[in-house]
Amino acid sequence: MTDLQSILPEEKGGMHPIIIAGPCSAETEEQVLSTARELARNGVKIFRAGIWKPRTKPGGFEGVGREGLPWLAKVKEETGMLTATEVATRQHVEDALAAGVDILWIGARTSANPFAMQEIADALQEAGKDVPVLVKNPVNPDLELWIGALQRLYNAGIHRLGAIHRGFSAYGKHLYRNMPQWHIPIELRRRFPNLTLVCDPSHIGGKRELVAPLSQQALDMGFDGLIIESHCDPDCAWSDKAQQVTPEVLNFILNTLVLRDATVTTESLTLLRQQIDELDNELLEVLNKRMRVSREIGQYKKEHRMPVLQIGRHDEIMQSRARLAEEMGMSGEFMRNVLSAIHEESVRQQIEIFNDRTR
């Protein structure tokens, strides 16, 4: 994906951050229009609303379907906002494009399904329209699957592409509805720096109170925009009521966000970055030394027919280092993650020695 382009038309290209807002679902013409009017009054330029809703279980509100498309056209005509909706099948693509929807997005259940993605890519290619498409991360934390979904669209000629980070499913109850796992969108950005990256704090948080802090976190990490669910009467919403905010609250949130300027040069950071470089070198040397000692231990275990994994010792290391880290003001969890990665490699190297017939 070497020729990625802006998802916005030229006159709106400078928008930073890109704000996309609107209800989870289009419910009635009145709900769509009154939400849209208020959002437009507050300066929002891109309106979102789900027309087709993939629900986890049958029996829930599955969207109004095609009937809602003319409502989006009215929003555009009346407010001048661009409109965006989710598509999951060839038919959705054809209907949405025929109705003049400006931006399409692909949901997390669809981006996890290569057959569905290919069908959508084919439909877009056949339609031959230069429509921007945003791809939500798949429900499962699989970066390659996310990239694969984007590549299918890119190969079908869609170069105005973006990615939406909406968090990842996890079993059980947690603070977040979907785990942010920020390292995944960060890795996506590292691999495709020109890909527009938008955060969906509504689906990550699942609760109104989390929308503002998650939005700020996304901006602090250099995301290009936010897609936020906003409903004129959230408590009466037909879907996702807990995570929708009124246009008024949205406006308040947007006004409190601290914008980050990516164009500030990093020159003044040079000296500090030199220190980081030196420290990383030291870290690498220490790690290398540790692996050498571990291999020696591996050799000893081989000669004495001992098992590689010594869970008691590993546990003792984890606990004592996590405690030490906390005493030093670092997070114990962070230290456990680091040690767990080191242990995995250390065990792998010992197994290599076990399997080496020349030793």
Q: How far apart are CA 216 and CA 211, in angstroms?
A: 9
* 209-248 residues near ligand ISJ, rule: CB under 6 A: none
CB of residue 135 to ligand ISJ, shortest distance in Å: 39
The residue (of 217 and 310) whose beta carbon lies closer to ligand ISJ is: 310
Nearer to ligand ISJ, 277 or 333 (CB): 333
Q: List binders of ligand ISJ among 289-348 (CB under 6 A).
A: 294, 297, 309-310, 313-314, 317, 343, 346-347
Q: Which of 153, 147, 148 is nearest to 132 (CA)?
A: 153
Contact 78, 42 (CB under 8 A): no
**Residue owning tokens 């977040």:** 176
Q: Are 197 and 188 in contact (CB under 8 A)?
A: yes
Quote the least distance from Cβ 294 to ligand ISJ, whole Å: 4
Ranges within 85-114 binding ligand ISJ (CB under 6 A):
none
Helix, strand, coil distribution of the chain in percent, nearest 5: 55, 10, 35
Query: Which pair of structure tokens corresponds to residue 345?
Result: 């490699």
CB of 216 to ligand ISJ, least distance (A): 38
Q: Shortest gap between Cβ of 114 and ligand ISJ (angstroms)? A: 38
User: 262-266: long-range contacts at Cβ-Cβ below 8 A with a sequence spacing of 24 or more?
Assistant: 262/222
- Residue 176, both tokens: 């977040």
Three-state SS for 146-157 is HHHHHHHHHHCC
Radius of gyration of the chain from its Cα atoms, rounded to whole angstroms: 25
CB of 317 to ligand ISJ, least distance (A): 5
Closest-CB residue for ligand ISJ?
Answer: 346
Contacts (CB under 6 A) with ligand ISJ, residues 127-166: none
Q: Where are the alpha helices (DSSP H) in the chain?
A: 29-41, 69-79, 90-98, 108-111, 114-127, 143-155, 183-191, 201-205, 208-220, 247-256, 270-303, 311-327, 332-355
Of 25 and 346, which has the nearer Cβ to ligand ISJ?
346
Please say which residue, 248 or 344, places its beta carbon nearer to ligand ISJ: 344
**Least CB distance to ligand ISJ at residue 165 (A):** 34
In the complex, least distance from residue 331 CB atom to ligand ISJ, rounded to whole angstroms: 20
Q: With respect to ligand ISJ, which residue has the nearer C-beta, 42 or 299?
A: 299
* Cβ neighbour number for residue 127 with a 10 Å cutoff: 16
**Nearest residue (CB) to ligand ISJ, 159 versus 295:** 295
Residues in the interface with ligand ISJ (CB under 6 A) total 11
CB of 253 to ligand ISJ, least distance (A): 45
Decide if 86 contacts 116 (C-beta within 8 A).
no
Residues 249-288, mask of contacts with ligand ISJ (x by CB under 6 A): ----------------------------------------
Measured distance between the N- and C-terminal CA atoms of the chain, rounded to whole angstroms: 46
| Between 130 and 316, CB nearer to ligand ISJ | 316
Instruction: Catalog residues that contact ligand ISJ under the rule CB under 6 A.
Output: 294, 297, 309-310, 313-314, 317, 343, 346-347, 350
